[in-house]
Amino acid sequence: MTTTPADHATPTPTPTPSPVDQAAPADHAAVAYDATAPFYDSLTRHDNYDVFADLLEGLIKQAGPAGTRLLDAGCGTGRSSVLFAGRGYRVTGFDISASMIGIARTRHADSGIDFHVHDIRRPAPGEGPYDVVLCMSDIVNYLVDPAHLAEAFARLSAAMAPGGVLVFDANTALGYDLMREPHIVRDDGLFAVLTGKHLASGGRYQLTMDAFRAEAGTDHWTRSTVEHHQAHHSQDRFATLLEAAGLRLTARHGLHISGSLSDGVDESAHTKGLYAAVKPPTA
């Protein structure tokens, strides 16, 4: 989940991992985002989608795909899908959360974009093959099992046209360390506290969100507690699994907390890595 916190609370001590961690449920991402969907756009209201779209389009143009058919894999409420449709791309969007897709379909009913409820580990929906695939907002980190990440890369590769480009982001070690501190997000009718912790196994990480929402026309608030499960994946793992899927990693950029990009990803200096992988024209 990509968020820009409005406030930072006092840092808490580094937690001690539990000796035994419960495995993340197979449908954990769908459960988390179905619960988060009603206030997701409030949580991410500080994120500048236009600026980020400029960065992504720069990577797309650098790769030079032959066409403009774009798959927004993990499109959420459709904000990025609409942005790229407005830039001339023919967009199809999907998300594992039926609630997120319900919002996308309602909010962007006149956009002409097909939105699907879909698991990234399954064959891609819509009218492929796609020249561009976007997989943003830490989606690869929600694939906590490396075997599931490998499966997702293979499915996305199969949906891509020769010469097509996959652009995705991933949280770094620094990004996870920063989220151990409580983050507070305030918006009209919303007060949310996000706190993360490292788990003991496999580079796994858990973000717990307590969201308090005002009930319209009353003095009452409702509380929702949502757990987001992720795993940190190394750059070597990305390169290896992409190659196995028939894709070639062509660009790695580190995203600073300021929003600027650097060549190369430094796990201790950047909050996110931004990657591009190309399907060879002869594939």
The pLDDT tens digits of the residues spanning 146-183 come to 999 999 999 999 999 999 999 999 999 999 999 999 99
Other CB atoms within 10 Å distance of the CB of residue 236? 8
Q: Which residues pair with 184 in a beta bridge?
A: 7, 193
What mean pLDDT comes out for the span 219-226?
92
Q: Which fold would CATH assign to domain 20-41+182-231? A: N-terminal domain of TfIIb (2.20.25)
Residue 35, pLDDT above cutoff 80: yes
For 73-115, write each residue's pLDDT tens digit: 999 999 999 999 999 999 999 999 999 999 999 999 999 999 9
Q: Do residues 96 and 152 touch, judged by C-beta distance below 8 A?
A: no
Give residue 64's Cα distance to chain centre.
23
Q: Is the dihedral of CA 276, 153, 91, 110 positive or negative?
A: negative
**Residue 186's pLDDT band (cuts 50, 70, 90):** very high
Helix (H) or strand (E) holding 56, with range, is helix 49-63
Q: How far apart are alpha carbons 211 and 224 in whole angstroms?
A: 5
> Whole-number mean pLDDT of the chain?
89
Q: List, by residue range, all CATH 3.40.50.150 domains of the chain.
A: 47-173+233-278
Q: Which residue has the higher pLDDT, 275 or 216?
A: 275
H helical segments located in 173-264: 173-178, 235-244
Residue 19, pLDDT above cutoff 50: no
Q: List, by residue range, all CATH 2.20.25 domains of the chain.
A: 20-41+182-231
Q: Does domain 47-173+233-278 have CATH number 3.40.50.150?
A: yes
Q: How far apart are alpha carbons 111 and 107 in whole angstroms?
A: 9
Question: Residue 9: its pLDDT value, please?
Answer: 35
Helix (H) or strand (E) holding 83, with range, is helix 79-86
Helix (H) or strand (E) holding 273, with range, is strand 272-278
Residue 12, pLDDT above cutoff 60: no
Q: 107: closest CA among 51, 40, 52?
A: 40
For 243-278, write each residue's pLDDT tens digit: 999 999 999 999 887 777 899 999 999 999 999 999
Q: What is the pTM of this model?
A: 0.89
E strand residue ranges, 76-203? 90-95, 114-117, 130-135, 160-171, 183-187, 190-198
Residue 129 preceded by cis peptide, ω within 30:
yes
**Residue 45's pLDDT band (cuts 50, 70, 90):** confident
Q: Which residue has the higher pLDDT, 22 or 155?
A: 155
